Amino acid sequence: MKSLLSLVALACVAAASPVADQVPLNSQHALAHPDFPNFDLNAVRLVQFEDQSAPVQMTEWQKLEAKSRGFKFFDVTDTPHLGSSAQLRIQSVFPEPNATEKVLPILKTLSTKGPEENLRKFSSFRTRHYRSETGAQSQAWLVSKIAEITEEWGSDSLQEKISISEFPHSWGQNSIIVRINGTSSTDDGVVVIGAHQDSTNMLFFLPAPGADDDGSGSVTILESYRGLLAADFHPERAVEFHWYSAEEGGLLGSQAVAQHYEANNVNVIAMSQFDMTAWVKRGTREEVGIIGDFVDEGLTAFNKALVETYLDIPWVETKCGYACSDHASWMKAGYPSSFTIESSFENSNQNIHSTNDRIDVSDEFSFDHMLEFSKLAVAFAVELGGSK
């Protein structure tokens, strides 16, 4: 049986792939399901695993098999130039938190009410898989909700500085970018706060409510955005909120966005990813997981300081692995990025990628816990974006 190892050899990769002999490469699969009318599981993709000098060819079906076995990867088919100028961009000097008089009043206005209402709707779609009909529908709903919040909570002067756009993708579920333009005429920097909007089920045809992964992160940063608007936040430096498509397919959406920013020399000062923010495992201490691998060291230290300054719970450093979430796309492009998760990785929600990734599956799913992450996103925006 042809294995990934043979393809790695053909690609002249010196070291054997960690997926070798575990993902069969010669089977053919047809997909017939009304949610996925145009998904070809036999389509060949270029996939990059850790410690490989070159990507290997895999079908969409083989990608699903690799993901189900716990392997993490970039699908680089559409983003071959990402990272071409990475060495020119990394900058890791960040200040100590110093804007408490501006941040603390906003934190007091944050609530669990909006996130709970929004997540009940967002996780009600049968699946938010990026190639599904309902995935496109969920993205359309999210855009409309962002626009509704902007109109309801933004002052006229602030709304003039806000743009809501869809970053188009060929698979039908677009990424979403909301930009609050900065007031400074000399600072071209951008602060990015992100989450991924898609969901998946390892048993592919079954529902994927994705309440925690990453519905929780998506509505967490949405509440942060609402809080900033309510506070009439006019940043000196541009602040953007991103909701990426196709994270579950190999970080496809965030790679496309990061490649576009890199190609256009956008000065991204820092990127913070929020992926899974709701789970508190029974019998464990409530805490914020700070990912320590494949992230920018200086920005990660800054994130720890934000937790210590503004949150009511402590942080714990943990690891997530290669290509673990969308922050990895920005690191690949050479931009400083960080990643916070609901707990240490070993204590995180084990129901993800299944029909049980729901709000009501356990009292371990906590909107109060999510609120701590909304505080963190607000602090990140104000401290690095500045405020008049």
- Catalytically annotated residue among 129, 133, 169, 196: 196
User: Do the bridges between strand 56-59 and strand 44-48 make them parallel or antiparallel, or are there none, so unpaired?
Assistant: antiparallel
Q: Is 247 a catalytic residue?
A: yes
Report the C-alpha gap between 8 and 4 in whole angstroms. Answer: 6
Q: Name residue 356's amino acid.
A: N
CA neighbours within 13 Å on the CB side: how many for 221? Answer: 31
- Catalytically annotated residue among 353, 364, 369, 383: 353
* Contact yes or no for 72/324 (Cβ under 8 A): yes
* Contact yes or no for 280/369 (Cβ under 8 A): yes
3-state secondary structure of 240: strand
Q: In the structure encoding, which two tokens stand for residue 199, read together?
A: 């969901």
- Catalytically annotated residue among 60, 240, 247, 287: 247
Query: Is the alpha carbon torsion for 289, 269, 148, 35 positive or negative?
Result: negative
- Catalytically annotated residue among 35, 213, 240, 372: 213
- Catalytically annotated residue among 248, 342, 364, 372: 248
Q: Is 248 a catalytic residue?
A: yes
| Alpha-carbon 147 to chain mean position | 20
- Give, in degrees to the nearest 5, the angle at Cα 171 between 249 and 71: 10
What does the buried/exposed string (b/e) look like for 217-245 if buried means 16 or more CB atoms within 10 Å of the residue's CB?
bbbbbbbbbbbbbbbebbbebbbbbbbbb
Report the C-alpha gap between 171 and 169 in whole angstroms. Answer: 6
Region of residue 268 (left: phi > 0; alpha: psi -120 to 50; beta: else):
beta
Region of residue 334 (left: phi > 0; alpha: psi -120 to 50; beta: else):
left
- Rounded to 5 degrees, φ, ψ at 260 are -65, -45
CA neighbours within 13 Å on the CB side: how many for 29? Answer: 21
In 292-336 the beta strands, taken as DSSP E runs, fall at 315-318
3-state secondary structure of 331: helix
User: Which residues are designated catalytic?
Assistant: 196, 213, 247-248, 275, 353
